[in-house]
Every structure is written in structure tokens, then in C-alpha cells.
Structure 1
Amino acid sequence: MGLFTKPIKTLEDLLVHLLQDIYYAENQITKALPTMIGRTTNPHLRAAFESHLHETEGQIGRLEQVFRMLDVEVKGVTCEAIDGILTEAKHVMSDIADPDVLQAAMLASAQAVEHYEIARYGTMIALLRQLGRADCGSVLEQTLAEEKATDEKLSKLATAEVNREAA
């Protein structure tokens, strides 16, 4: 079977796998963000992480809504990509002594997560449209917009403040 938990034979199978993948990923992110919030000394970065934690909880609810709309069991499958990104973030955080550099590293890790999420949501929306389920795609468009906005916020915070302080 390889990487996937069950054979993917159709576009619908791929869509369900991607939904399960991002559902797992979002749940892992909600577990990782409190640790990052606790390690953040920059008040603006902390606020961004706290805001995104709250958003992520809403995003999980939207994913559950799409599962129900598609009449598919709500469940996650292990996402090796997000596990890798989060494991790397933990290693980086444990290796950095300078608190300002740590802030920049956590921000960079958060952006890696955002970029993964943006890719997944964009792909799922396109698949849903192709499959004639624009109704489900519309539900996920709000999440995609939030992920892009978070990435933009983190980019601005990095250039205006966090990376400058780390330098």
C-alpha cells in the first residue's frame, strides 16, 4: 500500500485522503502551538500564535463540516509532512540558546506549517470544484484565506521586528 492507508484509485479517494491528512495536521498543530506560545518572548509573535491557535480550532470545525457534507467518517491519517515540520521545529527550538534567534526560528517554523496548509487547502478546493462539490470548497475557502493572512502577518512580523532583533 505504500504511504497511503488505503489504495487511492479515484479522485474522490485522493480528496478523502487529503482531508484526513490535513485533519490530522491541524490537530497536531493545536498540540504544538501552546508550546511555542510558552517559549515566545516577543509579545507580537505570541499574539500571532495565540490568534492562530484559536483560528485552527475553527478550521478543524470546518473540516469536520466538510467530512459530514461528503458523508465521510471524520478521522485523520498520519501526515508525515506535518510530523516532519513539527519535529524539526522542536529540534531547532532545543538547539538555540539566544532568545532573539529562537523567536526567528519559531516564526520560520510557523511559516513552514502555513505554507504546507496553504498548499493542501488550495489543492482540496480545486479537487472539490472538479468533483462538482463547490459547496464544500466554499467552506474551505475561508480557511485558505486565514492561512494566507497568517502567513502574511508572520512575514511582516519577521521583517519589521523579529529578524531584526535576532540580527
Structure 2
Amino acid sequence: MATKTLDDLFYETLKDIYYAERKIVKALPKMARGARDEKLKAAFEKHKEETEGHVERLNQVFEIIGKRARAKTCPAIDGIIEEGEDILDEFKGTPALDAGLLAAAQAVEHYEISRYGTLRAWAKQLGLKDAVSLLEATLAEETKTDEALTGLAEAALNSAAQRAA
């Protein structure tokens, strides 16, 4: 068996997040359509646009390392997205729907933040300065989105979920 290095791990994790981002782009419109709160709908739509940019940045990172952009199935993101779809089905028409969708979106954000933080650290270790800046830009956007979702939850959606429809 060939020895695996940090280069290999970086590439495998890059393929994982590439798959995840592409799945997220497809899931966000469905979440936006299901959301009742206009601010939450707008947040999902904005994040879809940002996520398309994240895919483009990942394509650039693949170019930097001289590898073809490929996706590797990510069971973690598949599960998180499935949970969001379950919330859409189980809480449709209820006051708790938006709080549940927001929580599912934050689970996605936290997964992405974890992956991008790791990839950034490895890119630094590997001396991939151009990749570091691309990964940092995405990490900053993911963190900002998570903070915005938290603000939306605390300002309105969590308390609205307590009220009767």
C-alpha cells in the first residue's frame, strides 16, 4: 500500500467539500421555497449565490494543486441535507418550520466551517499560499453567514416557533 501524505489528505478533503458545496447549491432553493419568513428566504437565496462562488474558488484550488476538480461523496452533508428535508416535511405549515430550517442551515454552515478551517491549515502547512487566501475568503463568508443565521434565530424565528399558528 502506498504511503499517504498530507497532500493526499488535502486532495481527498477538497473533493469532499466540493461535493458538499454542489449539493448545498441544489438544496438551498428548496429550503428558500419552504421558508415562511421573508428574511430567512432571503438568507437562503443569498447563501446560494455565495455557495456558487465557493464552488468557483474550489475549482481554483484544484487548479493550484494541479488536479482535476472532482467530487467525492460526502455522507455527512448528505445526512445534514436529509435532516433539513425531513424538517420541511414534518413541520410544514407550523410555527416551528423556520426555526427548524434555520437550525438545519446552521448544521450545514458548521460542517463547512470545519472543513474550510482544516483545509486552510493544511494549505498553510503545504505552502499553498494562493489556496490559503481562497480558502480563507470562503471561511470568512461561511462564518459571517452562520453569525447572520444566529442573529435571525435570536431576533425572531426561535420565539416565533413557540407561538401557535
Identity %: 50
Gaps of at least 5 residues in structure 2 are none
| In 1, Cα distance between equivalents of 2:122 and 2:17 | 14
Q: Count residues in correspondence.
A: 162
1:51-78 Cα deviation digits (max 9, x unpaired): 0000000010000001001101111000
Q: How does 1:14-163 map to 2 (within 5 A)?
A: 14-163=9-158
Q: CA deviation at 1:22?
A: 0.2
Letter in 2 for 1:159: E
**1:25, 1:82 within 8 Å by CA — same for their partners in 2?**
yes
Gaps of at least 5 residues in structure 1 are 2-6
1:12-42 Cα deviation digits (max 9, x unpaired): 0000001000000000001100100111110
| In 1, Cα distance between equivalents of 2:61 and 2:142 | 17
Q: Which residue of 2 aligns with 1:4?
A: none
| In 1, Cα distance between equivalents of 2:63 and 2:19 | 16
| In 2, Cα distance between equivalents of 1:139 and 1:165 | 38
**Structure 2-normalised TM-score?**
0.95
**1:8, 1:14 within 8 Å by CA — same for their partners in 2?**
no
Root-mean-square deviation (CA, aligned residues, Å) is 1.4
Per the alignment, do residues 35 and 123 of structure 1 end up closer, same or farther by CA in structure 2, a change over 3 Å counting?
same
Which stretch of the first structure deviates more once superposed, 7-16 or 21-30? 7-16
| In 2, Cα distance between equivalents of 1:73 and 1:97 | 41
Displaced runs of 4 or more, over 3 A: none
Q: CA deviation at 1:92?
A: 2.1
